[in-house]
């Protein structure tokens, strides 16, 4: 039902939450995104809660394996869920 897509374009990772449900009402939720490097304890970058289901991260001069974690927050009851993208590698 939920899938976090990740793609690269020049020096940027683009991510988008894709929802495969006719009944999903985007207006009822806020979305946050973390850029996470595999093997690191902390997130590399974050896009805090907004009503946009996509985010762009600048990865200039970065290398390694990364993924995007998307947080979905119900505006009414403040319930949160997370979904991860596939991993993507940037070589030096």
The CATH code of the domain that includes 45 is 2.60.40.10
* Contact assessment for residue 89 and residue 49, using Cβ atoms and an 8 Å cutoff: no
Mean pLDDT lowest among 13-17, 20-24, 69-73, 79-83: 20-24
Give the pLDDT band of residue 20 (cuts 50, 70, 90). Answer: confident
- CA-wise closest residue to 13 among 87, 74, 73: 87
Residue 25 has pLDDT above 90, yes or no: no
What is the total count of domains within the chain?
1
Tokens linked to 15: 């991510």
Give me the domain span that covers residue 60. Answer: 2-19+26-90
Residue 72, C-beta contacts closer than 8 angstroms, at least 6 positions apart:
2, 17, 29, 30, 31, 80, 81, 82, 83
Q: What is the pLDDT of residues 41-90, one digit of tens each?
A: 899 999 999 999 999 999 999 999 999 999 999 999 989 999 999 999 99
Question: Between 46 and 26, where is the model more confident?
Answer: 46
């Amino acid at each position: 039902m939920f899938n976090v897509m990740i793609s690269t374009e020049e020096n940027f990772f683009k991510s988008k939450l894709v929802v495969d449900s006719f009944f999903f009402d985007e207006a009822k939720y806020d979305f946050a995104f973390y850029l996470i490097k595999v093997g690191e304890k902390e997130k590399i970058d974050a896009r805090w809660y907004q009503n946009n289901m996509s985010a762009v991260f600048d990865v200039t001069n970065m290398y390694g394996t990364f993924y995007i974690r998307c947080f979905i927050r119900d505006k009414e009851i403040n319930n949160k869920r997370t979904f991860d993208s596939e991993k993507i590698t940037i070589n030096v």
